């Protein structure tokens, strides 16, 4: 679903803590242990790759269009609900 929504391939790696790993790669690069974060020694194993599927992209596009229509149509309703109450 992410690949479909983003319209880009999504790669799942064997990295459990990607944020911590990213910080460690940046630190290793900063102190000269790696040339940069794309150093082959820092490349994780790819477990799977998911490509966007045009049929699913079309379904998400249509659902998003309906959501945007609903958002616009409900604008006046939300404005009324957000208005201060009339004094009694």
Task: Report pLDDT for 38.
Answer: 85
| Rounded Cα distance, 33 and 9, in Å | 30
| Each residue's pLDDT tens digit, 51-84 | 999 999 999 999 999 999 999 999 999 988 888 8
Q: Are 25 and 34 in contact (CB under 8 A)?
A: yes
Nearest to 38 by CA among 19, 48, 25, 47: 25
Phi-psi region of 50 (alpha: psi -120 to 50; beta: other; left: phi over 0): beta
What would the pLDDT profile of 6-54 be if each residue is shown by its tens digit?
999 999 999 989 899 889 999 999 999 998 888 888 888 999 999 999 9
For the chain, the domains span 2-82
44 phi and psi, to 5 degrees?
Answer: -80, 165
Does the pLDDT at position 87 exceed 80?
A: no
Q: What integer pLDDT is reported at residue 86 of this predicted model?
A: 62
């Amino acid at each position: 679903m992410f690949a479909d929504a983003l319209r880009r391939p999504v790669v799942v790696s064997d990295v459990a803590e990607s944020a911590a790993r990213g910080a460690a790669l940046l630190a290793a690069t900063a102190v000269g242990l790696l040339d940069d974060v794309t150093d082959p020694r820092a490349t994780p194993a790819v477990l799977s790759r998911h490509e966007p599927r045009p049929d699913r992209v079309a379904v998400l596009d249509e659902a998003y269009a309906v959501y945007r229509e609903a958002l616009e149509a409900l604008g006046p309703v939300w404005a009324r609900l957000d208005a201060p109450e009339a004094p009694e």
